[in-house]
Structure 1
Amino acid sequence: MTNKQIARLKLACFILALLPLIRLVAAVFLDKLGANPVEFITRNTGDWTLYLLCMTLAITPLRKLLHWPWLIRFRRMTGLFTFFYAILHFTTFLWFDHFFDWQEMWLDVLKRPFITVGFTAFVLLIPLALTSTNRMIRLLGGKFWQRLHRLVYIVAVLGVLHYTWMKAGKHDFSQPVLFGLIVALLLMLRLWWRWFGRDPVVVLK
Structure 2
Amino acid sequence: MSVSPEESAARPRKRVDYGTGREALLDAAVRVVARGGLRKLTYRAVAEEAGVTHGLVVHHFGSRDALIEAALTRAVRTSASTSVLEPGSGDVADFASGLADMVTREPAVQAFQYELMLESRRRPELLPQIRTLYNEYFEATERELSRILPEDATPALTWLVFSALEGLVLLQLVLDEPDVTEAALEELRLLLSGRRGEE
TM-score range, shorter chain: 0.3 to 0.5
Q: How does the TM-score come out when normalised to structure 1?
A: 0.33
Greater Rg by CA:
2
